[in-house]
Copies of this chain bind each other. A is one copy, B any other.
Amino acid sequence: MLNLEESPARLFAALGDATRLGLIKRLSNGAEQSIAQLGEELPISRQAVAKHLDVLQSVGLVRRTRRGREVLFVLEPKTVAQARRWLTQVSAQWDDALGRLKMFVESQP
């Protein structure tokens, strides 16, 4: 897996597509699903779906398993959590900064 800690950009980029977000949402029900299944309701070709899944796998958002002739995909919630953590840190730093500003203002005579 790539180093997402120091470069979450690729991870967010993988999330930055409506089709891929849909796939993730669909996979978040916990079920393993094949490429054909995942593409059933989508208005794009199977190959397009496969490419999207490749992108998701390349950043570790999904894991693939072969079973016979089909390939099953499952969500990797740890990677979702990594993205969440980055945003949480930004929010926390923001809150800290505002807190310090408030303290400074209140300490003025």
Contact = CB atoms under 8 A, between A and B. Distances in A.
A104 B57 CA distance: 29
A21 interface: yes
A71 interface: no
Contacts of A15: 9, 12-13, 15-16
How many identical subunits does the complex contain?
Answer: 2
A97 B8 contact: no
Q: Is the interface of A mostly helix, strand, loop or mixed?
A: helix
Interface in A9-39: 9-18, 20-21, 24-25, 28-31
Contacts of A80: 87, 90-91, 94
Contact of A16 (B13, B24, B28, B87): B13
